[in-house]
Structure 1
Amino acid sequence: MCGIVGYVGDRDASSTLVNALKKLEYRGYDSVGISCLKEGNIETRKTKGRIRDLETFIEGNPFEEDYSCGIGHTRWATHGEPNDVNSHPHGNARISLVHNGIIENHSIIRKQMVEAGYTFYSETDTEVIVKLLDYRISQGDDINHALRYLIHNLEGSYALGVIFSDAPRKIYALRKESPLIVGVGSGENFISSDITAILKYTKSYYDIEEGEIAVISDNEIEILDIDEFAPIERELVTVDWEEDVAEKQGYQHFMLKEIMEQPSVFRRAIKGRISNSKVTFENEGIEDDFFTNIKRVHIVGCGSAYNSGLIMKRTIEKWCRIPVIADIASEFRYNDPILNDDDLVIIISQSGETADSLSALKLAKKRGIRTLAIVNVIGSSIAKLADKVILMQAQIEISVASTKAYFAQLVVGYLVAFKLVDIMGKWNEEYQNLFNEFLTVGDKVKKVLDDISVYQYIASEFYTSSNLFYIGRGLDYYMSLEASLKLKEISYIHCEAYPSGELKHGTISLIEEGTPVFVLASQKNVLEKTVSNAFEVKARGAKVLFISTYDDEMFKDGDYTILVETIHDDLSSMLMVLPIQLIAYFVSSLRGCDIDKPRNLAKSVTVE
């Protein structure tokens, strides 16, 4: 969940590391720090707070020398509260390192190191790595052997960037489960948690696999196996992203920029996946045989990915008439799921590094079940492990609260559902017409986003609320879950989502005078029942907002109504998501919240 970066070259290391960390701050922003190395000397500057606090600290405490090699870290706290001491890098005169992950056997190692005479100064699990490395080197190990010892003895997850005082102008990197890449420049090289941090300098990188040690200098990159430290050949990966995809481009926040990008996200998500007016994944190397003889589907994700999986579940069940189970990833493997040979397990993860989702995928693979990953990062751990991969094509999403990636998950989910309809021999004129309407979604999304003033108005009416409810039925209930998550994670308003028919079974007791209840109403077959439930809460003092794809007289007695573009009920989620995203954004803006970096959260959850 933390962000790691390293640099070696001819540039000023301090400013280069700080600039790169700014692009990683979405991964964590409790504390931040850098260490720089030159001719046997390591200097460290770190502080509680954000990167701007580090910049202020460095201005008041400048580095004593000019450095061109170093490592940096922005933290999301796991062990130990956010403070100066617990911030990274950790080290001593010989070693400095940055760490993303959790060392599960840290207490055992800590006890061993205390018995060996070491003193600990922080509450972190990371400090045990420093002591263990230092101990192995003091016992005669060279750097490679000491790092190999780490690989064999650390339990849990980690991505490590390490510098040593007696290895000038070199950075050592290794990983297990947590992401880490080696960026390839000209006369300079990098390590980074992801490519976004170093797009300003390079678009090319090498992946580091588990059980490998990468040794990076300005003009050389060695990737070594841990058995004989033999060099490993690795294919160079080059992305076609421009640096400005990680910039706000005139928007006040990344979240609004990413909401407004969703029409182009739709176009990218379907590009190359339509042939003869049907869905094909052959460009991804997925033949039709992969989807044959599926009797049941499991969809696994966390947060917004799980919410998108619920939409996918409902759609596949309705269209294909096979059972679909949607599971929260952190619960999946601990529930000892029943998996059969003719099942398909679909893992949804924006980053492709979500720890719980990766664990669920490993369980499915261990059981011999076919697996499909829907991710946004091609070289991610989940993408590498799954049998087949479908990229979301959302490009970089910087804001912690997911918008365009969630939308992309919906689009890809519908593509998979259409594919299964075709494979199962259910494709007919009705589905062809439905598919043709699906292809118009991008244009309809653009129309909704052409005028966002109504959402600013609605936000101005409700931003002072302390409690709020979203309700709906069917697909609208599943969208209510995402609406509730989006609002509370960035505005800090307590918000709950309920099936509208469930309110009478206890929850309606929470309704009092002025309580906002937002009603999603895009499903014609339950529209009357949904409206009836809305007026039950209105009769008890609630302020009711209807959001619908239908212009219906039934809404006239509500307090507010938002109408979006008309579309088939089964496809409505791709339009209904837009109002809930924009309302959350403008409410949070009026409340003065840090929209792109909400408190206590991080973009990529790489710990369980």
Structure 2
Amino acid sequence: MCGIFGYVNYLVEKSRGEIVDTLLTGLDRLEYRGYDSSGFAVDADKRNENYVIREVGKVSELRKLVQEAHMDMSKRFSTHVGIAHNRWATHGQPSRTNAHPHRSDPGAEFLVVHNGNITNYRELKSLLESKGYAFETETDTECIAKLAKYVYDTNKGRLDFTELLKLILVEIEGSYGILVKSSHYPGEVIAARNGSPLLVGIKSERKLKVDFVDVEFPDINVEAVADNVTHEFNPRLVLPRGNGLGLPDGSNSLMVPGLNNDLRHSQSRAFISDDGMPIPTEFFLASDLAAVVEQTKKVIFLEDDDIAHIYDGGLHIHRVRREEGMSSIRSIQTIEMELQQIRKGNFDHFMLKEIFEQPESIVNTMRGRVNFENRTVKLGGLSNYISAIRRSRRIVMIACGTSYHSCLATRDLFEELTDIPISVEIASYFLDRRPPLFRDDTCIFVSQSGETADTILALKYCIERGAMCVGVVNAVGSGISRQTLCGVHINAGPEIGVASTKAYTSQYITLVMIALSLSEDRLSKQSRRNEIIDGLGKISAQLQEVLGLNDRIQAVSETLVDKLKMLILGRGYQYATALEGALKIKEISYILAEGILTGELKHGPLALVDADIPIIMIATKDKLFDKIINGIGQVTARSGKPIFIASQNGPTLVEGKKKENGSVETKAELQSAETSYVRFEVPETVDCLQGLLNIVILQIFGYWLAVKKGYNPDHPRNLAKAVTTE
């Protein structure tokens, strides 16, 4: 949801054309997150002026606008700051005016790009308007730009960039990832995050002296300074307070002293050369690793409340306050993502590519963790905490969307292997209820991006109540991975398509591995555990076999293109498969697909069944097979013509009917009748793993339905890959 990108070149000479191309390429890599408009800002030819170009639609439309802008693309810069943004509308309609970057005034003294949601923007806007500031947009982001100018002007330019932003952030409520560029601070950019991801990529011609950046703490917390209105600092700043603008003595403003300027000239150890000469360096600021992977492999993941200030070839990380136990460094990490992982290759869409990557991605999920010879499972991220989790009063799984379905798909197995009560929660509903939690509860948070806003808020709620918190994520360095006590990385690789496919199967297998680890000491469960581990050893080859049905699924999908609704029925382990399959179909083909528990047919859904509505019934063999056959009978008796997902060489699914003379159809007649139903056969595996194979049929169905209807499955309307706002 939205995407931030910034580029700083220090003593690395670049033409304006190269700088703009770097910014637009960064936006290209962020397209998959979802957006409706985009824009960027670079230095203009005259000092203290900027070119700001914004457009509605795809980044390709922004490129066209660049060609029409008549900028001198050959002009060269030894040091330059550019910022860019893909917007997904939350406040205000998609338009050029509402697209980022936003400016503080007609002269664009401050330019801001922002991900997140400023919850007190109406109060800030009202107060700034009372001070004479005119707003141009409907967005919350513009308040940040206007507030920056207000703080700067009130202090007569005597604050450095970091101090300026600190005072702004004290007044802002909500979530944000922001970049700020200013003509008052040429060659500098400042970034901050709170609840919205942000990272800094580093590319240097020389090896950095250390693999970390020091965190610089203030001698006095900004809030303490802001609240102490009698403290004699100069200059004094007039600002509204962030606590609902509750002001003393009926006044309409609060006197807030500025901060002193002691830290401005501190040096960052990582960027000091042995000979004392400046190190030519490039910095890439982004909300997602995908935007920097082709530029550098060295990155720093910013923490909540970090302020990153880049100037004079150095990166400085500041905090508004010092908290107990807080790390005093930010490590420079080497990422393993490769450029080809975020390219489509020979596939028409990322979604199809990622569907076909699943035989490999699930192997990567298990690599180094499952020993098939010894039938053991070892999860390094949980090894020190397994005993504590086993002693839990209960386990609560919390997630959203597809991740929620992966939890549902494995809940039964957790209960069977651990004998611990398991509950599965949708994060937003969990937050609405705020249920009781206890210190001996374990909460497992599942998220592909690791930045899902509702899931992170639920995580904070659980941390406050002392529960043990475990993360299951795909994104290295994500918020959930940093805030949980322990966890498991699913190793699915980058997933670009908005509709999750390979992340689902890797989450599924990761949760199965956690259940296997928790039950390792249960002698009574060893036979079952061995059966599951043996099944995991075969699952990749079986998935490859299912992918061979692609052409046939494509052909069948053509008969369903004109349908407006669809039912998908599953039972037991396959109920989660039905829900996930329905989600895949509805989110990319816009067919109103509903996943239904087969056992609930008689409690309402059976009223929808007739000869016209498409029905997909999951009927693979397991302990509930007889009940599934009963459900099939209920559907076919009402003229339903289900499409079956069945086990290879499995039994007949359609029951024999009595003829008018009272006799029952012969076996030959029955087999002949069943051939009139579409049936996709998948390999048979352990019941708790069967959903890994069955879901692929539905993923492919969703893909081809979208394509046949003329929709882009990688970019479904109104949806974003990472939902980083509530």
TM-score, length of structure 2 as denominator length: 0.81
Counterpart code for 2:651 = D
By how many angstroms is 1:217 displaced?
A: 4.4
Contact 1:72 1:89 (C-alpha < 8 Å) held by counterparts = yes
Secondary structure (helix, strand or coil) at the match of 1:566 reads coil
Between the aligned partners of 2:306 and 2:434, the Cα distance in structure 1 is: 32
Is 2:13 the partner of 1:19? no
Between the aligned partners of 1:8 and 1:132, the Cα distance in structure 2 is: 24
Measured against aligned partners, the alpha-carbon deviations of 1:213-254 in whole angstroms (never above 9, x if no partner) come to 2122473222223359xx964211111121110000110000
By how many angstroms is 1:447 displaced?
A: 1.9
Measured against aligned partners, the alpha-carbon deviations of 1:510-559 in whole angstroms (never above 9, x if no partner) come to 23332100001225222232233233233333331010235221255362
Counterpart code for 2:689 = L
By how many angstroms is 1:425 displaced?
A: 4.6
Measured against aligned partners, the alpha-carbon deviations of 1:541-590 in whole angstroms (never above 9, x if no partner) come to 33310102352212553621101111121211111111011111111111
Q: Of the candidates 140, 147, 165, which is equivalent to residue 165 of structure 2? A: 147
Secondary structure (helix, strand or coil) at the match of 2:725 reads coil
Contact 1:175 1:209 (C-alpha < 8 Å) held by counterparts = yes
Alignment-derived partner of residue 242 in structure 1? 338
Alignment-derived partner of residue 146 in structure 2? 131
Query: Measured at CA, do residues 373 and 149 of structure 1 come closer, stay the same or move farther in structure 2, by a change above 3 Å?
Result: same
Secondary structure (helix, strand or coil) at the match of 1:47 reads strand
Alignment-derived partner of residue 86 in structure 1? 98
Secondary structure (helix, strand or coil) at the match of 1:554 reads coil
Secondary structure (helix, strand or coil) at the match of 1:525 reads coil
Alignment-derived partner of residue 435 in structure 1? 533
By how many angstroms is 1:424 displaced?
A: 4.4
Between the aligned partners of 2:517 and 2:335, the Cα distance in structure 1 is: 28
Query: Measured at CA, do residues 445 and 225 of structure 1 come closer, stay the same or move farther in structure 2, by a change above 3 Å?
Result: same
Q: Of the candidates 198, 202, 206, which is equivalent to residue 300 of structure 2? A: 206
Q: Of the candidates 35, 46, 49, which is equivalent to residue 29 of structure 1? A: 35
Counterpart code for 2:468 = R
Alignment-derived partner of residue 356 in structure 2? 260
Between the aligned partners of 1:218 and 1:269, the Cα distance in structure 2 is: 42
Query: Measured at CA, do residues 146 and 264 of structure 1 come closer, stay the same or move farther in structure 2, by a change above 3 Å?
Result: same
Measured against aligned partners, the alpha-carbon deviations of 1:419-455 in whole angstroms (never above 9, x if no partner) come to 1221445432332133222222112112222442221
Counterpart code for 2:48 = G
The size of the alignment, in residue pairs, is 606
Alignment-derived partner of residue 585 in structure 1? 703
Alignment-derived partner of residue 476 in structure 2? 378
Query: Measured at CA, do residues 390 and 155 of structure 1 come closer, stay the same or move farther in structure 2, by a change above 3 Å?
Result: same
Contact 2:409 2:574 (C-alpha < 8 Å) held by counterparts = no
Between the aligned partners of 2:597 and 2:329, the Cα distance in structure 1 is: 54
Contact 2:569 2:597 (C-alpha < 8 Å) held by counterparts = yes
Contact 1:273 1:283 (C-alpha < 8 Å) held by counterparts = no
Q: Of the candidates 76, 82, 98, which is equivalent to residue 113 of structure 2? A: 98
Alignment-derived partner of residue 652 in structure 2? 553
Tell me which protein shows more helix as a share of its residues: 1
Q: Of the candidates 95, 99, 108, which is equivalent to residue 123 of structure 2? A: 108
Q: Which deviates more, 241-250 or 414-423?
A: 414-423
Query: Measured at CA, do residues 179 and 463 of structure 1 come closer, stay the same or move farther in structure 2, by a change above 3 Å?
Result: same
Contact 1:281 1:287 (C-alpha < 8 Å) held by counterparts = no
Between the aligned partners of 1:367 and 1:170, the Cα distance in structure 2 is: 41
Secondary structure (helix, strand or coil) at the match of 2:699 reads helix
Equivalent residues in 2 for 1:482-493 (5 A)?
A: 482-493=580-591
Between the aligned partners of 1:7 and 1:479, the Cα distance in structure 2 is: 43
Higher-Rg member (1/2): 2
Between the aligned partners of 1:63 and 1:28, the Cα distance in structure 2 is: 28
Contact 1:8 1:217 (C-alpha < 8 Å) held by counterparts = no
Is 2:391 the partner of 1:293? yes
Contact 2:381 2:487 (C-alpha < 8 Å) held by counterparts = no
Contact 1:292 1:423 (C-alpha < 8 Å) held by counterparts = no
Contact 2:200 2:301 (C-alpha < 8 Å) held by counterparts = yes
Alignment-derived partner of residue 722 in structure 2? 604
Equivalent residues in 2 for 1:63-74 (5 A)?
A: 63=71, 66=75, 68-74=80-86
Alignment-derived partner of residue 683 in structure 2? 565
Contact 1:29 1:74 (C-alpha < 8 Å) held by counterparts = yes
By how many angstroms is 1:82 displaced?
A: 0.8
By how many angstroms is 1:279 displaced?
A: 1.1
Root-mean-square deviation (CA), in Å?
Answer: 1.8
Counterpart code for 2:370 = I
By how many angstroms is 1:477 displaced?
A: 1.2
By how many angstroms is 1:273 displaced?
A: 1.2
By how many angstroms is 1:288 displaced?
A: 3.3
Q: Of the candidates 196, 202, 215, which is equivalent to residue 178 of structure 1? A: 196
Contact 1:190 1:216 (C-alpha < 8 Å) held by counterparts = no
Between the aligned partners of 1:242 and 1:214, the Cα distance in structure 2 is: 26
Alignment-derived partner of residue 219 in structure 1? 313
By how many angstroms is 1:476 displaced?
A: 1.1
Contact 1:189 1:217 (C-alpha < 8 Å) held by counterparts = no
By how many angstroms is 1:290 displaced?
A: 3.6
Between the aligned partners of 1:567 and 1:376, the Cα distance in structure 2 is: 26
Measured against aligned partners, the alpha-carbon deviations of 1:44-99 in whole angstroms (never above 9, x if no partner) come to 00011111111112122243564643111011111111111111110132011100
Alignment-derived partner of residue 3 in structure 1? 3
Alignment-derived partner of residue 275 in structure 2? none
By how many angstroms is 1:277 displaced?
A: 1.9
Q: Of the candidates 274, 278, 284, which is equivalent to residue 190 of structure 1? A: 284
Contact 1:27 1:76 (C-alpha < 8 Å) held by counterparts = no
Q: Of the candidates 304, 310, 332, which is equivalent to residue 430 of structure 2? A: 332
Contact 2:30 2:86 (C-alpha < 8 Å) held by counterparts = yes
Gaps spanning 5+ residues in structure 2: where?
205-280, 655-670
Contact 2:643 2:678 (C-alpha < 8 Å) held by counterparts = yes
Q: Which deviates more, 163-172 or 369-378?
A: 163-172
Between the aligned partners of 1:585 and 1:218, the Cα distance in structure 2 is: 49
Query: Measured at CA, do residues 536 and 304 of structure 1 come closer, stay the same or move farther in structure 2, by a change above 3 Å?
Result: same
Query: Measured at CA, do residues 503 and 427 of structure 1 come closer, stay the same or move farther in structure 2, by a change above 3 Å?
Result: closer
Is 2:66 the partner of 1:48? no
Between the aligned partners of 1:110 and 1:285, the Cα distance in structure 2 is: 50
By how many angstroms is 1:391 displaced?
A: 0.1
Secondary structure (helix, strand or coil) at the match of 2:299 reads strand
Between the aligned partners of 2:303 and 2:514, the Cα distance in structure 1 is: 30
Contact 1:8 1:218 (C-alpha < 8 Å) held by counterparts = no
Q: Which deviates more, 115-124 or 31-40?
A: 31-40
Gaps spanning 5+ residues in structure 1: where?
none
Measured against aligned partners, the alpha-carbon deviations of 1:290-334 in whole angstroms (never above 9, x if no partner) come to 433123110000000001110121221123232111000011122
Q: Of the candidates 346, 349, 354, which is equivalent to residue 452 of structure 2? A: 354
Alignment-derived partner of residue 226 in structure 2? none
Secondary structure (helix, strand or coil) at the match of 2:519 reads helix
Measured against aligned partners, the alpha-carbon deviations of 1:473-504 in whole angstroms (never above 9, x if no partner) come to 11111110000000000001111111112122
Between the aligned partners of 1:396 and 1:218, the Cα distance in structure 2 is: 33
Alignment-derived partner of residue 562 in structure 2? 464
Secondary structure (helix, strand or coil) at the match of 1:461 reads coil
Q: Which deviates more, 68-77 or 268-277?
A: 268-277
By how many angstroms is 1:199 displaced?
A: 1.1
TM-score, length of structure 1 as denominator length: 0.96
Contact 1:42 1:96 (C-alpha < 8 Å) held by counterparts = no
